[in-house]
Structure 1
Amino acid sequence: MKKAIFVFNTLTYTQRGREALRRRGIRTQIIRTPAQLREGSCGYSLLVLNRVDESIEILKAMNIPVQGVYPADIE
């Protein structure tokens, strides 16, 4: 995947994820979670614009729980 939507349970985890990835040069944006992915989420997600596989590993290593990762074309 070139771009992906990372869904989190809380806005705090979304913001922590954005900061952790930004520090490693990974481009992200906080977006409203698409309606079909909103169940159980905080309503905000992280759009990861590059290095998706590496982003997953970074967040796991930092104990930032991700509810799900979806292709960005779902928007």
Structure 2
Amino acid sequence: MRQERILMVQSVTYAYRARDVLFRAGIRATVTRIPHDLREGGCGYGVRTDAAEADVVRILSQNGIRAKRVI
């Protein structure tokens, strides 16, 4: 079983964009709230997926979306 991770992005809008980009790439992802104790200020939303971290970060980067942090 693959480990789930949450990719923190800069806003809730980017979280929905990231979800859609990943879906088009064949990767299942959902928008989720970031636990309060893990937030580093700013947006409290991210994208949850069990896909390989390197693949997800690469796909998002190619589409102009930067993952601020992966938890």
Q: Do the two structures share a fold, i.e. TM-score over 0.5?
A: yes
Q: Distance in 2 between the 1:41 and 1:47 partners? A: 18
Runs of 4 or more consecutive aligned structure 1 residues displaced over 3 Å after TM superposition: none
| Residue equivalent to 2:59 | 58
1:1-75 pair list within 5 angstroms: 2-70=3-71
Contact (CA 8 Å) 2:5, 2:70: kept in 1 or not? yes
Q: Would you say how many aligned residue pairs link Structure 1 and Structure 2?
A: 70
* Amino-acid identity (%): 33
1:18 corresponds to which letter in structure 2? R
Which structure 1 segments of 5+ residues have no match?
71-75
Structure 2: stretches of 5+ with no match in the other structure: none
Secondary structure at the aligned position of 1:54 is classed as helix
Q: CA RMSD in A?
A: 1.5
